[in-house]
A and B are shown apart, each in its own frame.
Chain A
Amino acid sequence: MSAIAPIVEVTFRGLLGRRRIFLLVLLAALPVLIGLLIRIAGGRPDADRVLDTLVVRFVMPLVALIVGTTVIGSEIDDGTAVFLMVKPIARWRIVLSKALVAAGLTAVLIVPAVIISSILLSRTDLATTLEAFTVACFFGGTAYAIAFLALSAFTSRAFLIGLAYVLIWEGVLASILEGTKFLSIRQATLGIAAALGVDTPGQPLAAGVSAAVLAVVIAGGFMIASWRLARFEIRGGD
């Protein structure tokens, strides 16, 4: 496991040293800022609805999209991935290191936002809201991050494809076509939250199905990314 620590460290430094991190923090802080504004304005919001609409549907997938497509995709794009690929390291270890960073940073940004927003907005059952959305967003964010990481191992257009998945597939089609819900990370995240006691709109996925969807995405994304990196081919050159 000795190679994992340096890869994690260098990947974190690559992410944190750039302007991208300010965008991520701003994005993650959005629900907190809106919660504050609502509190200051004396509004009486429904915490579950705000967390569902703002965090699960918008902030969490976007944060995971930016982080997931960057941890390995940016190194492939700028050519620095070569230094990693010409080392005697099993490819699954590289993916594990990158997945730890992607999922870890997504959780570090999203979970505090969920906790603070819950505290600001919850009127009745704070404990349930807090627990349900924290657990659901932790696993949902991990699934998103690893799915987007795997996507970036295949294509340099991972960000655009991921954005289309979040906005078009999950935002529009999965809400209209009932039978496609199990292909949506968002629906699985909401299914976990619903199973833990919060009120979500529509008919949520069953807890078992939601857990299975997230587990398949996490394990499948990890395996597909490892498979892809084992066949990594450098871009460019004559």
Chain B
Amino acid sequence: MTTELPPNPAAPPFTPAISVDHVSRWYGNVVAVNDISFALGPGVTGLLGPNGAGKSTLLHMMAGLLAPSAGKVSILGQSAWRSPAIYRSLGLVPEREAVHPYLTGFQFAVYNAELQGLAEPEAAAERAIATVELTDAAHRAIGTYSKGMRQRAKLAGALVHDPPVLLLDEPFNGMDPRQRLHMISLLRSMAAAGRTILFSSHILEEVERLADSILVVYAGRLAASGDFRSIRRLMTDRPHTFTVRSSDDRRLAAALMLEPAVFGAELVDGRVSVRTADFGAFTRALPRIARDSAVSLFEVAPADDSLESVFSYLVRR
């Protein structure tokens, strides 16, 4: 669930699991995160953005591993920066792969449990290892693990104390499709049990499959936030540009200009460049227009379907 800040004064008191209040972070003259605010409660939220957008910086500030240059980050009402006590309620799966290579997966989980001060670290470690389906390899050195196994070992370390808030930085990196499905199902069941889970990704499909709500970050700014479906619709309904190669580009361009969904068509480099405001209507109309004009279509390709252009559009809105 994503809500706007500041909260309505008339509403009952609400302590969000994660609160980011007008947070910025800069390195010298470079602004990595620019005045971002949001509050999260239980559920799975995806932090989506291209590489270099500021996702990791934001996540590290939430994990208390970076000080905000301005603003405040709180976890369950406590400041995240310089508050070791928050880690009783917080689990972090960092993006970097480095895990002590000389420890076994089980030893790593026990180490995390001991550092959490748990009464029965070995039992907690066994549970966490079983949860991430790493039991078969639990007594092998992490140095021999695949990338996906290391991700699961890190997740076991983060889950060992059963935290109500879980932050995951690109958790699906290196996982095979079966491991991804298992991770998605695991995170979903944890969210259903009332945990607040925030994970970062630069892959839209990952976020689509897992997140109830999303935060879209682009160039350090919060480009969009809220329910995944409405933001997906925004992404789909944005102006699109297609390039079309046909047997008669000039005739096709003239015919396309009569179509209400099309607001521009020009001949560029032996192709027709078509701008449309309605993705669905255009893709449905194009075969009909080609058939009625007796033109054969050889190639239809989106010219601006990269995530960069999607995020850029969301920021400009």
A2 touches B114 (CB 8 A): yes
Name which of A49-57, A78-86, A132-140, A173-181 contacts chain B. A78-86
Which chain B residues lie closer than 8 Å to A10 at the CB level?
A: 100, 103, 111
Bound-state CA distance A233–B56 (Å) is 13
Tally A residues with Cβ within 8 Å of B.
30
A3 interface neighbour in B51, B91, B114, B169, Cβ under 8 Å: B114
Bound-state CA distance A231–B94 (Å) is 18
A1-23 contacts to B (CB < 8 Å): 2-3, 5-7, 10, 13-14, 17
Question: Closest residue to A10 on the B side, CB-wise?
Answer: B111
A82 touches B96 (CB 8 A): yes
Which chain B residues lie closer than 8 Å to A2 at the CB level?
A: 114, 117
A237 interface neighbour in B57, B87, B102, Cβ under 8 Å: B57
Which chain B residues lie closer than 8 Å to A82 at the CB level?
A: 65, 92, 94, 96
A209-238 contacts to B (CB < 8 Å): 230-234, 236-238
Name which of A26-34, A87-95, A109-117, A155-163 contacts chain B. A87-95
Bound-state CA distance A104–B52 (Å) is 43
One digit per residue, 1 when the CB lies within 8 angstroms of any chain B CB and 0 when it does not, for chain A 60-78 equals 0000000000000000001
Which chain B residues lie closer than 8 Å to A236 at the CB level?
A: 56, 96
B63 touches A79 (CB 8 A): no
A238 touches B57 (CB 8 A): yes
Which chain B residues lie closer than 8 Å to A88 at the CB level?
A: 84-88, 116-117
Which chain A residues lie closer than 8 Å to B51 at the CB level?
A: 238
Bound-state CA distance A2–B85 (Å) is 16
Bound-state CA distance A85–B91 (Å) is 11
Chain B's nearest CB lies how many Å from the CB of A95? 13
A6 touches B56 (CB 8 A): no
Chain A's nearest CB lies how many Å from the CB of B47? 12
Chain A interface, DSSP helix/strand/loop, else mixed? loop
In this assembly, does B175 line the interface, its C-beta being within 8 Å of a C-beta of chain A? no
Bound-state CA distance A78–B98 (Å) is 6
A233 touches B84 (CB 8 A): no
A87 touches B116 (CB 8 A): yes
A238 touches B53 (CB 8 A): yes
B66 interface neighbour in A5, A91, A233, Cβ under 8 Å: A233
B65 interface neighbour in A13, A85, A91, Cβ under 8 Å: A85
One digit per residue, 1 when the CB lies within 8 angstroms of any chain A CB and 0 when it does not, for chain B 94-116 equals 11111110110000000110111
Which chain B residues lie closer than 8 Å to A85 at the CB level?
A: 65
Q: A82-B94, A83-B157, A86-B65 are in contact. Are A238 and B54 (CB under 8 A)?
A: yes
Q: A233-B66, A233-B67 are in contact. Are A6 and B114 (CB under 8 A)?
A: yes
Chain A's nearest CB lies how many Å from the CB of B61? 10
In this assembly, does B32 line the interface, its C-beta being within 8 Å of a C-beta of chain A? yes
A86 touches B54 (CB 8 A): no
Chain A's nearest CB lies how many Å from the CB of B242? 31
Question: Closest residue to B66 on the A side, CB-wise?
Answer: A233
Question: Closest residue to A85 on the B side, CB-wise?
Answer: B65
A86 touches B114 (CB 8 A): no
Which chain A residues lie closer than 8 Å to B53 at the CB level?
A: 238
Chain B's nearest CB lies how many Å from the CB of A80? 5
In this assembly, does B152 line the interface, its C-beta being within 8 Å of a C-beta of chain A? no
Which of B85, B86, B100 has the largest number of chain A CB atoms within 10 A? B100
Q: A82-B92, A88-B116 are in contact. Are A234 and B65 (CB under 8 A)?
A: yes
In this assembly, does B60 line the interface, its C-beta being within 8 Å of a C-beta of chain A? yes
B16-64 contacts to A (CB < 8 Å): 32, 51-57, 59-60, 63-64
Q: A84-B115, A236-B96 are in contact. Are A17 and B57 (CB under 8 A)?
A: no
A144-159 contacts to B (CB < 8 Å): none
Chain B's nearest CB lies how many Å from the CB of A236? 7
B57 touches A3 (CB 8 A): no
B84 touches A90 (CB 8 A): yes
Bound-state CA distance A34–B198 (Å) is 60
A89 interface neighbour in B59, B111, B115, Cβ under 8 Å: B115
Q: A6-B114, A238-B53 are in contact. Are A86 and B102 (CB under 8 A)?
A: no
Bound-state CA distance A6–B113 (Å) is 10
A86 touches B98 (CB 8 A): no
Bound-state CA distance A230–B97 (Å) is 24
B90 touches A86 (CB 8 A): yes
Which chain B residues lie closer than 8 Å to A14 at the CB level?
A: 100, 102
Q: A2-B117, A80-B98, A238-B32 are in contact. Are A86 and B57 (CB under 8 A)?
A: no
- A-B contacts, 19 of them at CB < 8 A, read A2-B114, A6-B114, A7-B115, A10-B100, A13-B100, A82-B94, A84-B115, A86-B90, A86-B91, A87-B87, A87-B115, A88-B116, A88-B117, A89-B84, A91-B84, A233-B66, A234-B94, A238-B32, A238-B53
List chain B positions with a Cβ less than 8 A from chain A.
32, 51-57, 59-60, 63-67, 82, 84-88, 90-92, 94-100, 102-103, 111-112, 114-117, 157, 169
